[in-house]
Amino acid sequence: MKKPIKGFSKLSKEGKIEWLVNEHFEKPEAARALLEEYWHTDEKKQQLHDDFIENTVTNYFLPFGVAPNFLINDELYTLPMAIEESSVVAAASKAAGFWLKRGGFKTEIVSTTKIGHVHFNYYGSVETLKTMFEAWKPMFFEETEELTANMRARGGGILSVELKDKTDVLENYFQIEARFETCDSMGANFINSCLEQFAQVMRADVMSRDISEEDKNLQVVMCILSNYTPECVVRAEVSCKVEELNDDKDVTPEEFATKFKRAVRIAEVEPYRATTHNKGIMNGIDAVIIATGNDFRAIEAASHTYASRNGQYTSLTHCTVEDGIFRFWIEIPLALGTVGGLTKLHPMVKLAHELLGHPNSETLMGIVAASGLAQNFGALRALVTTGIQKGHMKMHLFNILNQLEATTEERDAIVAHFTDKVPHHNLVVAKFCELRGIPVPRSDVKKDS
């Protein structure tokens, strides 16, 4: 039976690995060797990676691919994409090439405001609280001047502060809701520091007042930015004449436009479909987010909340076909940074930003939105024409061949064999065994049949 360990975080990296491999693996030396294989050969770069998180024992690689031919606001980009899922980069690239000939992607920043809250309980008179808040407001700005100086110099800072009475949803619950402009920084540390200073102002002022003990009963619960950013939104769009949707010989442009619009409409009204639909959008978005060193978990959370903002989970993309014009667009909250965090530390993140021409945060918002729109267009295009499995099964075949450690000659022969067949696992294994003149393993005889 495994035993808990005390003081694990205080062990050296070697000590952590020693405990890990001996406690959890049947072949400790093989596990140790694998962990060390993924270390960077440059000790300084490895130390940099070790310091990104706690208890680091090795690195975890994701493929870093690129999707060229993205024409965004009349400027050509090659997008960096870090993702483990097959077909994503290919679909984005194909969609980019399609729209390259039809005017490309147009993006617009709707707004760039971020929001944070001081969450607190108050047990006194609401009128007294409102009076105190009017006194706090100027103090919030005054007491954070040092914190906001650099941000204000770049055109950002605290935009507004409001008192929110939330007692209708939770007894004695109130908020100080603040709006911020953080320019090219994602701004989490900046926002949280300001909010904590607000809380100090509130506590000190309440205790200094000549009011009843009940009216002094204010308890700050927490100070934290919100990753829901419905006021930090970007829009990306593609459009063309319906007759220009003439890229598939098996479907007329009119049929394609009708089926595509219907597919989007289904995602707008059916949450089961919307979830998978939006997941495909996030394939394109997350891949660029990760490559550029931004927080894909925050973006995911905000996007899915935004998709539910009207009471039902729905599609993040929309489509119209009117007066002979096909339009397809996405509107999505993207709180991104191009300074701070990993953007100046991680070598591959720095390379990704250089690849994109060192965009500011608003330009990056547009690029990321275009990537999500392209990915969604590629997926829907496949779904309403050839079906989604054609591309997926091709990559599935390559994965099976890698597992079988097929030679180049064997790979070429098997790929040619399955050109017009579905490469189910058992059929691929059978063909592989036939080429090598060996019996099919019993475990694969009935697999996938």
| Residues annotated as catalytic (active site), given as ranges | 85, 279, 295, 392
Q: Dihedral of CA 366/367/370/375: which sign?
A: negative
Give the position of tokens 């870090």. Answer: 82
Amino acid at 322: E
Name the token pair of 380: 């829907």
> By C-alpha distance, which of 316, 330, 332, 232 is closest to 279?
316
Q: How many CB atoms lie within 10 A of CB 349?
A: 20
Going by their DSSP bridges, the two strands 106-112 and 232-241 should be labelled as antiparallel
Find the helix packing angle between 28-37 and 13-24, rounded to 10°: 140
Q: Residue written as tokens 């679909």?
A: 91
Exposure pattern of 86-119 as b/e (b: 16+ CB <10 Å)?
bbbbebbbbbbbbbeeeebbbbbbeebbbbbbbb
Name the residue type at position 316.
L
* Cα 394 to chain centroid, rounded: 26
Rounded CA-CA distance 314/292 in Å is 27
**Rounded to an integer, what distance in angstroms lies between the CA atom of residue 296 and that of residue 180?**
21
Q: Do the Cβ atoms of 174 and 206 come closer than 8 Å?
A: no
8 A C-beta contact, residue 328 and residue 237: yes
